Amino acid sequence: MSNLAQKRILLGITGGIAAYKSIELIRLLTKAGAEVQVVLTDGAKAFVTEMTLQAISGHPVRSTLLDPNAEAGMGHIELAKWADLIVIAPASADFMARYAQGMANDLLSTLCLATESPVLLAPAMNQAMWRHPATQANAKLLAERSVLSIGPADGAQACGDIGPGRMSEPSDIFNAVTAHFENDSITQDLSGQHWVITAGPTMEAIDPVRFISNHSSGKMGYALAKAAMARGAKVTLISGPVQIAIPSGAHVIAVKSADDMLAACQQSMNTQADVFIGAAAVADFKMKTACDQKMKKQSDTDEVTLTLVKNPDIIATLAQQKRAKTIVGFAAETQNVIEYAKSKLERKGLDMIIANDVSRADIGFNQDDNQVTVITKDKTWSPDKATKSQLASVLVEFIQQHTKPAL
């Protein structure tokens, strides 16, 4: 039986073209056995109709705060108490701003303030609106208040722009809801701990249009973040450029270069973190001096020389500075995997290293599956090949068992 059976989900829909996707989300939730009630803002009514949503959900749609019939029994308070989870999809920039400031000037914002149940936001807006410092500040404030979120995704938008701001797909939001209720049954033994995890590639600029990078998808780092959060950890995810939805509940810092990533790690670990996992594939080299303008082809030569210098060694720096009680590295190798990983463990002063063979086509970069060997100073262990999500849960358990006590 689905873990959504008989769960009561209040779906809030705010104004935006992505509102049409909420119809599919309702279908997925009700098919899984959840009971769904819908609340519309005035803006949402321009994109979806109450009749359609009522037909799909099987319940009357609410949109008015001061409805004499419903408010005879303090209906908005009862609705706030009824929900096991409130999902806002799409969550507009305007709604996020009002929610962050504690405003209660319509039914949906009032419900969010009146409920004691978790709230999950699926932001959707123009890419410039999402990037605006005010929106980012509101998103950060809501995350600090334990408001969950998923997305936004990156890609083409209805306005013609390309960038972050698309609402996550209904299937992804459905999976986030499912994961939320699964997490309720998982032991919250990491509660109170702060884990900092890096993920994805770094990009080192050659000129304004070219860069040095690698094939890392970020899937392993993002899976580790989700697994740690599922057990109650506060997670800061420092991510290079990837095409993955932001894990609900994670504090995500987007970076590009290795220098950016190191600065973000140090800032996030001003006070000592419990665990640091360096799952990012950091470029070893960068341009000594990146070009300000696009490099042009030279008609008199078929060759070009780039002068590269070493990037900062992020994990070795953090280990030396004792920024975390337990520091875990990754070693993506194509040969002599175990030998090179053990050398890296000792040379960089790590507590643990997770080695994988990225020369294999069935695991590693851009794949959904992975197989690794975990190496500590006194132990070598190889869990079975699994999906990155499954493997992440296994690795988080192993790391927790080997986490150093507080200094």
**Where are the domains positioned within the chain?**
8-183, 194-401
Of 345, 367, 341, 398, residue with least CA distance to 227: 398
pLDDT score of 74 = 47
Please check whether residue 82 is in contact with residue 52, taking contact to mean a CB–CB distance below 8 angstroms.
Answer: no
Residue-by-residue pLDDT tens, the chain, 407 positions? 467 888 999 999 999 899 999 999 999 999 988 999 999 999 999 999 999 999 999 999 988 876 655 544 445 678 888 999 999 999 999 999 999 999 988 899 999 999 999 999 999 998 889 989 999 999 889 988 888 888 888 777 777 777 788 898 998 899 888 888 876 656 778 888 999 999 999 999 999 999 999 999 999 999 999 999 888 899 999 999 998 877 777 889 999 999 999 999 999 998 889 999 999 999 999 999 999 999 888 777 788 889 999 999 999 999 999 999 999 999 988 899 999 999 999 999 999 999 988 888 777 677 888 889 999 998 899 988 888 888 998 999 999 988 755 44
8-183 and 194-401 agree in CATH topology: yes
- For 291, half-sphere exposure in the C-beta direction (CA atoms, 13 angstrom radius) is 13
205, with CB counted inside 10 A (0-12, 13-18, 19+), is middle
91, 100, 222 from 114: Cα distances, Å: 18, 14, 32
Q: Tell me the CA end-to-end span of the chain in Å, nearest whole number.
A: 45
Query: Could you give the residue numbers annotated as active site?
Result: 159
DSSP code of residue 77: H
How many angstroms separate the CA atoms of 202 and 198, rounded? 10
Q: Residue 206, SS3?
A: strand
pLDDT score of 160 = 75
Query: Which amino acid makes up residue 275?
Result: V
pLDDT score of 271 = 84
Q: Residue 205, SS3?
A: strand
**b vs e for 106-134, b when ≥16 Cβ sit within 10 Å of the residue's Cβ?**
bbbbbbbebbebbbbbbbbbbbebbeeee
Please check whether residue 272 is in contact with residue 234, taking contact to mean a CB–CB distance below 8 angstroms.
Answer: no
Class of domain 194-401: alpha beta
pLDDT score of 406 = 47
Task: Record the tokens describing residue 63, joined without a space.
Answer: 């949109």
Q: What is the dihedral of CA 379, 380, 384, 386, to 10 degrees?
A: 90
pLDDT score of 73 = 45
- For 353, half-sphere exposure in the C-beta direction (CA atoms, 13 angstrom radius) is 25
Task: Record the tokens describing residue 234, joined without a space.
Answer: 């506060």
pLDDT score of 146 = 83
CATH number of 8-183: 3.40.50.1950
